[in-house]
Amino acid sequence: MPRPVTTPGRIVTAAVVALLATVVGFPAVVPASAHGELLFSDPSDGGVLEALPSRAFLTFSDSITEIREITIVGPDGSVTNGAPTSVGPEVRQTLWAGPEGSYTMEYFVVSADGHDVRGDVHFEVGSAPTSAASADGEATGTPAADGWAERGRGAVVPGVVVVLAAATALVLARRRRAQA
């Protein structure tokens, strides 16, 4: 009975095929986004406003079942006026007028999945740029995270592995044909 020929090229090819089959056989695991998160706020995080608006809005990725606390504090203290309200994923808070300066909006809500969602949004009121804004008047703060960048990472690594495995298999196949 003839003995099978095992060359380093065949071993590498078999390993690449096994790796490729494993990667393709298992779909990319994308992180679950089951927990609610802040998608948008008005005023926006890092925003610079000419005057304090009469209402603040927070929009979440899931419906809000309970508002535990919404506070908006500025240079003269709290500017919240009455109880916050929610409709689906949007929370609204009426505001008193306030002076120029730095403000912090803190939120503590419960999303429809039952998990607490907490965080804060910092913004400025006044026409002159402050430390939260750049010299040309643009806000330098980051907007509320939408999570798309984090969700996309789960597919990048397996995609790169598949491309590298395919390239390696192609190079090995061409070498084998060239030697034959």
Q: Same structural domain for residues 90 and 123? A: yes
Terminal Cα distance for the chain, rounded: 24
CATH number, domain at 119? 2.60.40.1220
Q: Is 3 part of a structural domain of the chain? A: no
In a domain, 162, yes or no: yes
> Which range marks the domain in which residue 155 is found?
8-31+151-179
Same domain, 117 and 170: no
pLDDT tens track of the chain, all 180 residues?
665 556 666 666 666 666 556 655 555 554 455 678 999 999 999 999 999 999 999 999 999 999 999 999 999 999 999 999 999 999 999 999 999 999 999 999 999 999 999 999 999 999 755 454 444 444 333 444 444 444 444 555 556 566 667 777 777 777 777 776
Q: Are 50 and 139 in the same domain?
A: yes
Question: Tokens 């803190």, residue?
Answer: 106
Q: Where are the beta strands (DSSP E) in the chain?
A: 38-42, 48-49, 55-60, 64-74, 77-78, 85-87, 90-94, 101-111, 116-125
Domain count for the chain: 2
CA–CA dist 9, 168 (Å, integer): 11
> What does pTM read for this prediction?
0.55
Regarding whether 108 and 52 lie in a shared domain, the answer is yes
Nearest to 31 by CA among 162, 150, 156, 160: 150
Residue 2: inside a domain: no
Sort residue 114 into left (φ over 0), alpha (ψ -120 to 50) or beta. Answer: left
The answer to whether position 1 is within a domain reads no
